[in-house]
């Protein structure tokens, strides 16, 4: 991106100040245009609204640099392919959308939400005929840091049966099962739930779950029963760099409830220790040594992401 373009975008951020509050008004991207969030509209016959027929991704950005952007972009394209929605933008197009949203907002850390639906058509379960264009929406929001208490003391979780569909590997906008699971956890005063299918661990309502037994980090298999979070590959890398044994396999419920440590990862939670499960302490009831090692490595990884700069070369 040229210096003149960056300057123009920065000026746009100034012009987006609200006359009423004096605060910046959030800018979003919708079908090729940038506009104030308050002006963004979609037709009620959009299949995302009618059927939840779409996919999305969430990209964290630290000091204006998206974290593991190539992996997020690859996952977005995988999800689009699996639901047979034509990718509406090429790699440079997606990168430009993310870049402009980041520049137009003044938060130090942000997360960018990318959302694609099959488009607007007559209500019918069958895919619409050719000629319907996907709806593309994107926005950036402030990334508020995880609390020090959660990092240092840990968080609580509950266990639930996994009652969702069998294509959890698709990052679909159809999230009712996840929403209900997350609300059940919230009603119990917990941050997250750990879900089980046929007595084996799958994932959380909006996160991946990690189990530590005898110093080894365990992860459920990459299959259709979980969404492979971007931190999935990251933690695999971090375990190698820190000499932590790592294994991918099916994990029984009995192993989870007797684990030495449990952890949760996601774009917005980063990596957090679960120290209470169903009201009982996990391990010693405090964040364990494997968590502390991986948390430190995670922070180093975030810092190194700035070395390559942004945006990437065309």
Active site residues: 171
DSSP strands (E only) in 8-85: 27-30, 33-36, 54-62, 65-66
3-state secondary structure of 196: strand
Instruction: Spell out where 102-258 has E strands.
Output: 109-117, 135-142, 155-161, 192-197, 200-201, 208-213, 216-219, 246-248
Rounded to whole angstroms, the Cα distance separating 45 from 120 reads 5
What is the SS3 assignment for 17? strand
In whole angstroms, what is the distance from residue 98 CA to residue 102 CA? 6
At 76 the three-state DSSP class reads helix
d(CA 52, CA 46): 9
Q: Is the peptide bond before 139 cis (omega within 30 degrees of 0)?
A: no
CA distances from 175 to 54, 79, 163, 191, 210 (A): 11, 14, 12, 18, 22
Helix axes of 230-242 and 69-82: crossing angle, nearest 10 degrees: 140
HSE of 292, CA atoms in CB hemisphere, 13 A: 6
Whole-number Å distance between alpha carbons of 237 and 232: 9
Of all helices (H) and strands (E), which one includes residue 304? helix 289-304
Q: Which two tokens stand for residue 132?
A: 């319907």
Residues in the chain: 314
Contact 267, 228 (CB under 8 A): no
């Amino acid at each position: 991106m040229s210096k003149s373009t960056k300057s123009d975008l920065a000026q746009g951020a100034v012009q987006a100040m609200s006359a009423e509050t004096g605060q910046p008004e959030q800018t979003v991207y919708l079908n090729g245009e940038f506009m104030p969030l308050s002006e963004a509209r979609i037709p009620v016959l959009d299949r995302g609204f009618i059927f939840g027929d779409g996919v999305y991704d969430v990209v964290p950005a630290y000091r204006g640099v998206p974290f593991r952007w190539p992996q997020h972009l690859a996952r977005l394209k995988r999800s689009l392919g699996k639901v047979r929605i034509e990718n509406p933008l090429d790699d440079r197009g997606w990168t430009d959308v993310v870049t402009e949203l980041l520049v137009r907002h003044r938060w130090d850390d942000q997360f960018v939400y990318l959302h694609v639906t099959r488009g607007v058509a007559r209500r019918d379960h069958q895919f619409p005929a050719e000629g319907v264009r996907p709806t593309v929406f994107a926005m950036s929001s402030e990334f508020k840091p995880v609390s020090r208490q959660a990092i240092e003391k840990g968080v609580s979780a509950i266990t639930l049966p996994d009652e969702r569909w069998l294509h959890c590997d698709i990052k679909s906008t159809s999230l009712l099962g996840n929403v209900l699971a997350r609300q059940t956890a919230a009603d119990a005063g917990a941050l997250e739930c750990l879900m089980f299918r046929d007595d084996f661990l799958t994932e959380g309502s909006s996160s991946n779950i990690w189990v530590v037994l005898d110093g080894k980090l365990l992860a459920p298999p990459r299959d259709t029963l979980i969404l492979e979070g971007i931190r999935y590959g990251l933690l695999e890398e971090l375990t190698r760099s820190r000499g932590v044994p790592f294994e991918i396999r099916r994990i029984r419920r009995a192993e989870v409830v007797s684990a030495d440590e449990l952890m949760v990862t996601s774009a917005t939670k980063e990596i957090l220790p679960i120290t209470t499960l169903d009201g009982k302490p996990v391990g010693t009831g405090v964040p364990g040594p494997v968590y502390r090692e991986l948390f430190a490595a995670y922070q180093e990884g975030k810092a190194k992401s700035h070395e390559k700069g942004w945006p990437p070369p065309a």
